[in-house]
Structure 1
Amino acid sequence: MSITAVTCVKNEGPFLLEWIAFHQCIGVTNFLFYSNDCDDGTDTLLDALAELGHVTHLPNPAEGRNYQMEALKDAKKQSIVSDADWVWIADVDEFPNIHVGDHSFAALIEACGDPHAISLNFQFFANDDIEQFEDSPVIAQFTRSHNPDLWCGEAAIEVKSLVRQDFPLQYFGAHRPFFRPKVKKNQRPSWTDGSGRDVPHRFLVAANPRRIRRFPAAGARAYATLNHYALRSLDSYLVKNDRGDVNRENRAFDDTYWRERNDPAWEDTSIQRYLPALEKQIASLKSQGDIAALHEACVAAHVARRDALLEQKEYRKMQKQLRAASKLPPQEEAMLRDLGLLEPTS
């Protein structure tokens, strides 16, 4: 079974090997990377990995700022995607935590009954008060998250999707595929959540203008969860804020983004079952060609960028603000104030 992972990156060099190695451990056979405007060695590392046959690396084709959607439009035309049995679209801070069988994508597909698509709910992992960037597996460093059934007071949580080759595809969205218009009711794709249950009807038939990309997470994670490490260390968050993201140029991640994802109420170390295989696979990748040296160059560039940012008053202020920020999501804090359980802000 061939599985192609598709992702977009910008200055993610220190985190590439872990993400690739992890996905190789769960059964991904091919990788399609799109990069844009990298200055930390990400593109050089990806080129070296491509020469060794581990990934396909292309420049992002976007002419405007809609980097991810333009890349996904192009990906649909690439043989590495069109010839794959399954396609997985995710970011390099997202890791499927599969709870069944041998903890592989194949085991998840079997548990879900081999549907046309499987959508996994996010579980956002907090910063854990980790300040310094450390060149070690992210999945080992960050172990606390919000209650997986609720996020910022919402029962519906966003998903990412694994898509079978014969899905009646109109186009890939970043979170879920959309099937062609006028597909008859009895020909609609079979589509499950991470418990093998049919996704909610409203999610299934979402038309393009609504672009529904979430559904309730309660009961939807028996077979798999999608661990999302959007914050990582405070150091890495500052660098992330500086570079923006793959979707919008110069996007600033403000205090709200941090607070919404920095709820440490729940401890979950289950993904660490992958660590022995992951560390072995990372070591294997580093042993090939110049991969270890190129990875170290990315790490050095990441640290140097952090140091340069902290020379700026605005970033020192941001660092101080994030250190002091409440670990209650803004929505939950507002609700508690409305109930009189917290003092109003001055």
Structure 2
Amino acid sequence: MRVTAVTCVKNEGPFLLEWIAFNQLIGVTDHLFYSNDCTDGTDDLLDALAARGICQHLPNPAEGRNYQMEALKDARRRDIVMQADWVWIADVDEFLNIHVGDHTISALVEACDDPQAISINFQFFANDGIEAFEDAPVIGQFTRSHNPDLWCGEAAIEVKSLVRHDFPLKYYGAHRPFQKGKERPKWTDGSARRVPHRFLVAANPRRIRRFPAHGARLHATLNHYALRSLDSYLVKNDRGDVNRENRAFDDTYWRERNDPAWEDTSIQRYLPDLNKALTELKKDKDIKGLHDACVKAHIAKRDELLKQESYREMRAQLRAASTLPPQEEAMLISLGLMDPAA
């Protein structure tokens, strides 16, 4: 089975090898990367990986528009996507945690009875007080998240989707495919249940890319490490959002994803094999050298940012921020269960 992962990146150099190696463990056979405006060596590392046949790397075709959607439009006509049995569109901080069989995409597809699409709910992993960037697998460092069935006071949680080659595709969205005509494809959640009808037909704008997670994660969860360490979050804030031009992350984004109420170490089942795969990749001295240069640039950017008073203030604000999402805090205050001055 040929599975192609498609992603957009900007200054993600320290995290590329882990993401590629992890995806290979779960059955991804091909990677298509689009990069833009990289200053940390991401593009150099991707070029070296591409030269070795480990991925394909293209410049993002967008010109001041929506980077991700322009890339997905371009990806659809690429052989690496057209010839794939399945397409997996995800970001470098998102890891498909498969709970069934041998923990591969093939096992997930079989458990879901070979549908034309599978949408898997996010689980947002908290920073949980980890300040320093460490050049080690992200999936081994961050183990706490919100209650997987509830996020920011809502039961409906965002998804990302695996899409089979025969899906009646109108276009790829970042979170889910959109079908053409009135055809109703066989489309399941991560528990092999048919996705809700209003999600399938995109009838409700608030449910276009989300549906309730309760009962939907029997076979798979999507672990999202949107914050990582405080160091990395500061660098991410400086970078902005790869998917949309001139959008910065703020305190709200951090607080919505830094709820450490739940411990989940299930993805660490992959760690032994992941560490072996990373060791193997780094046996190539050029690849290791380029990875190390990205790490050095990441740390240097942190140091540069912390010379600015605004970033020192941001760091202090994030350290002191409540670990209750703003929506849940407001609800507790409205119910008289929390002092608004607390």
TM-based fold match above 0.5: yes
SS in 1 for 2:118: strand
Structure 2 counterparts to residues 235-274 of structure 1, below 5 A? 235-274=231-270
> Do residues 326 (structure 1) and 328 (structure 2) align?
no
Q: For 1:88, give the aligned amino acid.
A: W
Aligned to 1:195: 191
> Do residues 335 (structure 1) and 331 (structure 2) align?
yes
Q: For 1:96, give the aligned amino acid.
A: L
Q: Which TM-score applies when normalising by structure 1?
A: 0.97
Alpha-carbon distance between aligned partners in 1 of 2:228 and 2:40, rounded to the nearest angstrom: 18
Alpha-carbon distance between aligned partners in 2 of 1:260 and 1:165, rounded to the nearest angstrom: 35
RMSD between aligned residues: 1.2
Aligned to 1:176: 176
SS in 1 for 2:18: helix
Q: Percent identity of the aligned residues?
A: 79
Deviations 1:260-308 (A, max 9, x none): 0000000000000000111111111111251000000000000000000
SS in 2 for 1:290: helix
Contact 2:159 2:175 in 1 (8 A): yes
Contact 1:88 1:162 in 2 (8 A): yes
Contact 2:64 2:245 in 1 (8 A): no
Aligned to 2:100: 100
SS in 2 for 1:110: helix
SS in 2 for 1:336: helix
Deviations 1:166-210 (A, max 9, x none): 000000000000001243xxxx21000000000000011116977
Aligned to 1:118: 118
Runs of 4+ in 1 over 2 A off after TM superposition: 207-211
Aligned to 2:132: 132
Contact 1:140 1:275 in 2 (8 A): yes
Aligned to 1:49: 49
Contact 2:130 2:230 in 1 (8 A): yes
Alpha-carbon distance between aligned partners in 2 of 1:225 and 1:242, rounded to the nearest angstrom: 29
Alpha-carbon distance between aligned partners in 2 of 1:87 and 1:45, rounded to the nearest angstrom: 23
Q: For 1:306, give the aligned amino acid.
A: R
Deviations 1:208-251 (A, max 9, x none): 97770000000000000000000000000000000001112232
Contact 2:40 2:297 in 1 (8 A): yes
Structure 2 counterparts to residues 131-150 of structure 1, below 5 A? 131-150=131-150
Q: Which TM-score applies when normalising by structure 2?
A: 0.98
Alpha-carbon distance between aligned partners in 2 of 1:208 and 1:341, rounded to the nearest angstrom: 32
Contact 2:149 2:212 in 1 (8 A): yes
SS in 2 for 1:215: strand
Picking from 216, 225, 232, the partner of 1:229 is 225
Contact 2:198 2:207 in 1 (8 A): no
Shift of 1:150: 0.2
Aligned to 2:306: 310
Aligned to 2:86: 86
Distance 1:263 1:305, change over 3 A: same
Structure 1: give runs of 5+ residues left out of the alignment.
none
SS in 2 for 1:16: helix
Q: For 2:181, give the aligned amino acid.
A: P
